[in-house]
Amino acid sequence: MQTLARICIQRPVFATVLILALVVVGLFAIPNLGLDRFPNVDFPSVTVTTTLQGATPEEMDSEVTEEIEKQVGSVSGIDTISSTSSEGVSVVTIQFVLERNGDEAAQDVRSKIDLAIPNLPEDAERPIVQKFGSDAAPIMQFTLSAENTSIRDLSEYSDKTLRPQLESINGVGEVQIIGGRLRQINVLVDPYKLRSFGLTAVGVRDALRRQNQQVPGGSFDEGERRLSVRTQGRATSTEELRQLVIKDQSGSPVRLGDVATVEDGEEEPTSLASINNKPAVVLSVRKQSGANSVAVIDAIKAKLKEIQPTFPAGYTTFITNDQSVFTKAAVAAVQEHLILGSVLAALVVLIFLWNWRSTLISAFAIPSSIIATFALMYSQGFTLNVITLLALTLAVGIVIDDAIIVIENIYRYLDEKGMNPKEAALAATNEIGLAVLATTLSLVAVFLPVAFMTGIVGRFLNSFGLTMAFAIIVSLFVAFTLTPMLASQWLKAPKKTAGADGGHGGASKQSGVFGALERAYASVLRWSLRHRWVVVLICIGTLFTTVPLGARVGGNFLPDEDESQFIVSVRTKEGANLAATQSLLSRIADDLRKFPEVTDTIITVGSDPQQTQNKGDILVKMRDISERKTDNSQFDLMARARTLVKEHYPSNLRTLVSPPNAFGGGAQAGLQFVITGPDNRTLADAANKVVAGLKATPGIADADTSVIVGKPELSATVDRTRAGDIGVGVGDVASTLRILVAGEDVTDFPQNGEQYDINVRSLPRFRSNASLNLFAVPSSNEGVGSVTVDQVTRFAEGTAPSTVERFSRQRSVTVTANLVPGTSAQTVQGKVQDLLKQQNLGLQYQGQFIGQSRELGKTFVAFGVAFLLSIIFMYLILAAQFESWLHPITILISLPLTVPFAILSLLITGNSLNIYSLLGILVLFGIVKKNSILQVDHANQLRAGGLPREQAIVQASQDRLRPILMTTIAFVAGLLPLVLSSGVGSGTNRATGGVIVGGQLLSLGLTLVATPVFYSLFDDISLGTKRLRKRLFGKSEEDEENGESDGDGPGGAAHRTNGTGGSPSIGGAEPRNEEPGTGGRRELADAGRRTTAPDDQNAAAPPLVSPPRRAEPQS
């Protein structure tokens, strides 16, 4: 690097071209990086959804779910399998290990499903296999509504016009319609008329299939022509359907219209939606895997704006969920913090050096390094997201550090040695080169392990670690090229009187406030060196506070983030239908809109995969955070919403109030704990006891279980003996009930190029308990006449579970809860485990956390490994740089001392240990270690020049105090916008910035003293080791002076420059080897000069290049 610096100083145009090339490439890379909220990460997860109309949860579990789990269980790379069986719907979720390719996993699952299909019930629809990941959740949702327009018309327009146009947009994967009711031809049969004509519902279904079909008849040649034959037997109007003959009775045709009402209607609703209690349909957009969310959303908005003029009169859209809004605001805020932090960091340089030229030179390092980093980010396929931009913001203080250290040292050479700018630039860069190189490489060692962390967190933080490493490496290059070149061209030697060029008038650094601070520091340092064990005990006591402080702070997965919206999920009493559920949610939404902070409410009912009719969500949209008072945060309003529901609505409501899932999707509880075991009743009891314990725990809200009982059910039991006697099969009874109660799509109705379902069902007035007995069932015994359901079936009302859950192919129950802000998830998880253990259920019953709760534990393990690897790599790099096994320990001893102060800063600011604050601690390690490197490296240089140890320690610490304070305060200034942020994304910013700023400022005083003290202690250990070797092996002092050092002393190979601790300079000028006296003796000896020392402990280290023999120091 010194060679590169020399070339750049001698060839300024060459240096400028080097940096400009990097900047130009970076500028061209910026538009191509893309914008997103999070890095594009593939979480390989596959869902299999199967529908069997009318089947109970137990039937779905035993006949569908078990078979699917059995087949897909042999797919390689499975992490977990979970399933939920509800009425008519089975959803199996297969979570794969992160190393598994998601597309390949989905294909393997499809292959296994093909094997399972023959074993599924005949009437089950073909299972739908979908790959799900962080990019499979909806990125945008909007409503379509209109005054005096039916939901059917809105649905048809959405399905036939909007959806195709949106799905044609590049990057759009799927558009789902919620709350829609598509056109359907309904054949509503009258059971009485069926019996009067001797017909059954099964007979009507079969007749429709026979009479309404289009069948190809092959082809034949006629001369030179080849003609195709096709039987056109489909009805093209409802009147034609009514005229279809379904039975010939004694020569008289029985037509469909004789036994049924045929109407051009709409399908039975499975979900409902409304905006501010006005009926609407919701269009939910998912992106294609790998597509950029913000770019896709912008394209959707542009398309909607383009087709808006073609909308039917009165049709309006309203965007209810737009991930790009938060993303753009969060990214813009971080960009603003990046720029403001850069300005503040540059101002710190100006305040310390009071020289605008030095300030500009240091400040140039920021845009040069950051812009060049964009090119490296582009090469790795990264996007501009909250993770990478956070890395760049934190890097601002780091990239300017190297420039500050170099420029400060150059400035000191100009000020104190009187060198010309080129000589000062080269000599100062050479002197500080090792320290800058060591700090930079060890900083890279801090962040590279983050890039290779395991688990979901590792996938997200991969781009953080690499972006930081890229910025740091580029800043090192800039510090040895642009900075010394500009210094040699722009800087001037300070005058002794105030000059017009912005210099400080030659005021010595020992004068004024800084001089007083430096002298006070030297006094404290000398006292500490005389009372080293006092400092050691203080350090040990500080370390012992880590555990109690950590226990008080607690741990969470993510910091709380105000996104100006939240979701109120409500489950009403079992058996409630869509209309009843929507009515209740509409009342709650009306009350929520009375809060002045609420702008809109969007209701969806039955939109979950199980299409649960008594469950719905209210999306509550709030005013922007900038328009609200500080005591009206999203979390304050969430608490008020809980109170509202609890105090004004039935106590049997099951409510979950949550922010939207950060990775997409709907509401999700912050705590999820699944209990598995063989017996459903035992599982339910265990889960209820855990919930009772959680409800009694402060800081817990919405505690609940997935155990849902009391769903009303009408059970039909066929008398097999009686049915067999009269020729009725069990399947005939089941088919009759399913057709007349649930309805069945039997054939298609073509019109204008579209196909519409023809559904057979009983008239609404016959769908009741009393009417079921009247349904006629087919019989193979013609002699018995008409047979009704009540002749072979007994009905009994009862209750049944609404869902049947499995986890790892065992029956399971899930406990869910939310945490009030300020509550530690780590503490609550321990409480949950204790509540389960207290029940002594035996080894057959196990509990484990899932979702974010599971990732929390993995996060701390992953960060623990990253911390350990960072320390190991830093030690190895420093050992190689200093050619010493002990000096790296001296430097790294400051790292654990910062942890208690970092945790204390979390306690003061009200934050917790989460993935962002843990990142802050990693950054803190890198910054604190840089300070120690500066102290140790300079002390080694001074001792190599002949200065006694204690004087070298004090002088080195004084010499490096200004750059340490400059880099520290510049870094803190660069992070102040993050710490003080209050808008979008402020939770993340404060979590990271607060721990760095607080930890850095609170620990600075102790580490400035601890590093010199431990340097002195470890040097004593080194001397003691040498004396022991001398006694054991008879090694002479002369041998040691001739270079047979163990590498632990200050005269190691890493410092073999010119024997004076300096480096060669331009024009033959001597390197700086003496300083003006500032407290204590500073007798810096030239090579060969005799230096006196008070005792053996402060004996001078042997010179790096053997000088003429000199007298040994006197004891």
Write the CB contacts of 960 (distance below 8 Å, at least 6 apart in sequence): 931, 934, 935, 938
Looking at residue 1087, which CATH number applies to its domain?
1.20.1640
Cβ(832)–Cβ(705) below 8 Å: no
Residue 991 belongs to a domain: yes
pLDDT reported for residue 350: 80
Burial class (CB in 10 A: 0-12, 13-18, 19+), 1109: exposed
The reply to whether 888 and 873 lie within a common domain is no
Q: Which residue has the tokens 């320390």?
A: 871
Residue 404 belongs to a domain: yes
% residues pLDDT > 90 (the chain): 29
pLDDT reported for residue 782: 66
The reply to whether 605 and 740 lie within a common domain is no
Residue 1 belongs to a domain: no
pLDDT reported for residue 1083: 36
Handedness of CA 372, 378, 384, 385 (dihedral sign): negative
pLDDT digits (tens, 9 = 90+) for 895-929: 898 999 999 988 888 888 888 888 888 888 888 88
pLDDT reported for residue 687: 93
The reply to whether 896 and 1029 lie within a common domain is yes
Secondary structure (DSSP) of 8-26: HHH-HHHHHHHHHHHHHHH
SS3 sequence, 1033-1079? HCCCHHHHHCCCCCCCCCCCHHHCCCCCCCCCCHHHCCCCCCCCCCC
**Ramachandran angles phi, psi of 135, nearest 5°:** -95, 5
pLDDT reported for residue 299: 93
pLDDT reported for residue 665: 52
Of 391-395, 904-908, 1095-1099, which gets the smallest average pLDDT?
1095-1099
Cβ(78)–Cβ(106) below 8 Å: no
Q: From edge to edge, which strands make up the β-sheet containing 654-658?
A: 278-279, 272-275, 598-605, 615-622, 565-571, 654-658
What b/e readout covers 817-827, taking b as 16+ CB neighbours within 10 angstroms?
A: bbbbbebbbbb
pLDDT digits (tens, 9 = 90+) for 970-1012: 888 878 888 887 777 778 888 888 898 888 888 888 889 999 9
Query: How far apart are alpha carbons 977 and 819 in whole angstroms?
Result: 28
pLDDT reported for residue 688: 92
Strand partners, 262: 187
Could you tell me which of 853, 836, 814 has the C-alpha nearest to residue 670? Answer: 853
CB neighbours of residue 655 within 10 Å: 18
Collapsing DSSP states into helix, strand and coil, what is residue 73?
coil
The reply to whether 819 and 786 lie within a common domain is no
Could you tell me which of 40, 859, 992 has the C-alpha nearest to residue 463? Answer: 40
Q: Residue 1054's pLDDT band (boundaries 50, 70, 90)? A: very low
Domain span at 954: 509-544+883-1115
Write the CB contacts of 327 (distance below 8 Å, at least 6 apart in sequence): 35, 36, 37, 293, 294, 385, 386
At position 634, the amino acid (one-letter code) is: Q
Q: From edge to edge, which strands make up the β-sheet containing 281-287?
A: 172-178, 281-287, 140-145, 316-322
Looking at residue 397, which CATH number applies to its domain?
1.20.1640.10
Cβ(645)–Cβ(588) below 8 Å: yes
Write the CB contacts of 340 (distance below 8 Å, at least 6 apart in sequence): 977
pLDDT at 184 over 60: yes
Collapsing DSSP states into helix, strand and coil, what is residue 777?
strand
pLDDT at 501 over 60: no
Query: How far apart are alpha carbons 457 and 927 in whole angstroms?
Result: 23
User: Checking phi first, is residue 822 left (phi over 0); if not, alpha (psi -120 to 50) or beta?
Assistant: left
CA distances to 574, 694, 781, 791 from 784, rounded to whole Å, are 41, 62, 6, 12
Virtual CA dihedral for 797, 800, 802, 808, nearest 10 degrees?
Answer: -160
The reply to whether 729 and 777 lie within a common domain is yes
pLDDT at 638 over 90: yes
Helix (H) or strand (E) holding 523: helix 512-530
Query: How far apart are alpha carbons 548 and 227 in whole angstroms?
Result: 88
Looking at residue 822, which CATH number applies to its domain?
3.30.70.1430
Residues in the chain: 1115
Residue 78 belongs to a domain: no
pLDDT reported for residue 497: 47
Query: How far apart are alpha carbons 1045 and 1029 in whole angstroms?
Result: 11
Q: Which residue has the tokens 């008070």?
A: 1094
Could you tell me which of 63, 41, 39 has the C-alpha nearest to residue 50? Answer: 63
Secondary structure (DSSP) of 107-124: HHHHHHHHHHGGGS-TTS
Average pLDDT, the chain: 82
Angle (CA) 540-948-425 rounded to 5° is: 95
% residues pLDDT > 70 (the chain): 89
pLDDT reported for residue 285: 92
SS3 sequence, 297-324? HHHHHHHHHHHHHHCCCCCEEEEEEEHH
Of 135-149, 431-445, 887-901, 1008-1022, which gets the smallest average pLDDT?
431-445
The reply to whether 598 and 697 lie within a common domain is yes
Looking at residue 192, which CATH number applies to its domain?
3.30.2090.10
CA distances to 298, 309, 1006 from 527, rounded to whole Å, are 64, 81, 14
The reply to whether 484 and 583 lie within a common domain is no
Q: Which residue has the higher pLDDT, 604 or 507?
A: 604
Cβ(45)–Cβ(109) below 8 Å: no
pLDDT reported for residue 784: 66
Virtual CA dihedral for 395, 401, 404, 408, nearest 10 degrees?
Answer: 180
In 413-511, alpha helices (H): 421-451, 455-490
Which range in 525-539, 918-932, 1068-1082 is most confidently predicted, on average pLDDT?
525-539
Q: Which residue has the higher pLDDT, 1112 or 781?
A: 781
For 659, the token pair is 């922010």
Please tell me what DSSP assigns to residue 378. Answer: H
Mean pLDDT of 538-551: 90
The reply to whether 748 and 829 lie within a common domain is no
The reply to whether 810 and 768 lie within a common domain is no
Please tell me what DSSP assigns to residue 787. Answer: E
First to last CA, the chain: 41
Burial class (CB in 10 A: 0-12, 13-18, 19+), 620: buried
Residue 302 belongs to a domain: no
Query: How far apart are alpha carbons 966 and 978 in whole angstroms?
Result: 19
Could you tell me which of 1038, 1074, 1057, 1041 has the C-alpha nearest to residue 959? Answer: 1074
Secondary structure (DSSP) of 27-55: HHHGGGS-B-SS------EEEEEEE-TT-
For 504, the token pair is 């400080």
Write the CB contacts of 846 (distance below 8 Å, at least 6 apart in sequence): 675, 676, 677
Query: How far apart are alpha carbons 904 and 226 in whole angstroms?
Result: 88
Residue 304 belongs to a domain: no
Cβ(989)–Cβ(976) below 8 Å: no
Q: Which residue has the tokens 């959303």?
A: 297
Residue 99 belongs to a domain: no
For 427, the token pair is 């000599």
Residue 97 belongs to a domain: no
Q: Which residue has the tokens 């190689």?
A: 880
Query: How far apart are alpha carbons 261 and 247 in whole angstroms?
Result: 17
In 883-948, alpha helices (H): 887-892, 894-909, 915-944
pLDDT at 834 over 90: yes
Query: How far apart are alpha carbons 269 and 181 in whole angstroms?
Result: 6
In 213-322, alpha helices (H): 238-242, 256-259, 293-307
Angle (CA) 600-603-606 rounded to 5° is: 165
- For the chain, the domain total comes to 4
For 927, the token pair is 């910054």
pLDDT reported for residue 846: 92
Helix, strand, coil content of the chain in percent (nearest 5): 55, 20, 30
The reply to whether 823 and 762 lie within a common domain is no
CA distances to 421, 443, 918, 991 from 914, rounded to whole Å, are 48, 22, 6, 8
pLDDT reported for residue 667: 59
The reply to whether 947 and 1001 lie within a common domain is yes
CB neighbours of residue 512 within 10 Å: 11
Could you tell me which of 475, 579, 839 has the C-alpha nearest to residue 683? Answer: 839
The reply to whether 655 and 793 lie within a common domain is no
Q: Residue 781's pLDDT band (boundaries 50, 70, 90)? A: low
